[in-house]
Amino acid sequence: MSSPLPNPLHPRLAEAVAYAAIVHADQGRKGSAVPYLAHLLQVAGLAMEHGADPEAQLAAILHDAAEDRGGRARLADIRQRFGERVAALVEACSDALPDPEQPAKPPWRERKQRYLARLAEPATDPAALLIALADKVHNARCLLADLRHEGARAWQRFHAGCAEHCWYWEACAELAERRGVAPALVAELRRLRDAVRQASGDAG
């Protein structure tokens, strides 16, 4: 007999997955032929494993939709379809939303510092930190696998190296730890950070 779900699935979860599949249909993971939807499903799965409530489940699936596919217009569409909190979580988890007046993204470090500052605000929904953690854990898992397969060449796909990524992951871990969000995910992100350092050698 199965155990009762601590957080039931959102009744529109399948709709959110279908929406993400359309939005990210032609997008692959960086440096690979893996459909981007695979990342979104993994992040949502990790978030669910660590207590994501129903609206956070939707936001986890949609967390890159505005950043990668349409900016504020996409965010407005998510708000109309899935509600204010889901849209707010997606916005909180977005590194930088595209701006038609400034098409070039800010430098990597500047974007990450702004993102971290937003997550650090006292009013930030803890679910945003959970989704951010799940996102970083899955990214770090994939990077570690690539480093073990390809060696230091894996870093050539990124705008920042090992030291910068390790700083960023630790900053996310500290924010989540401070709020008591998903301690097991915090610990895993730190283990992955150390493993990435070891696998990178002097590559960062």
For residue 17, the domain's CATH number is: 1.10.3210.10
Question: Where do runs of H (alpha helix) occur along 63-161?
Answer: 65-68, 71-82, 84-92, 108-120, 126-150
User: Mean pLDDT for the chain?
Assistant: 91
Residue 64 has pLDDT above 80, yes or no: yes
pLDDT in tens, 114-126: 999 999 999 999 9
End-to-end Cα distance, the chain: 49
Q: How many domains does the chain have?
A: 1
Q: Is 154 left (phi over 0), alpha (psi -120 to 50) or beta?
A: alpha
Residue 181 domain flag: yes
Residue 1 domain flag: no
CB of 98 within 8 A of CB of 71? Answer: yes
Q: Determine if the pTM surpasses 0.75.
A: yes
Residue 27 domain flag: yes
Residue 3 domain flag: no
Single-letter code of the amino acid located at 121: E
Mean pLDDT of 67-85: 93
- High-pLDDT (> 90) share of the chain, %: 76
Residue 5 domain flag: no
Amino acid 1: pLDDT? 39
Residue 93 domain flag: yes
Domain encompassing residue 150: 13-200
Confidence of residue 60 (pLDDT cuts 50, 70, 90): very high
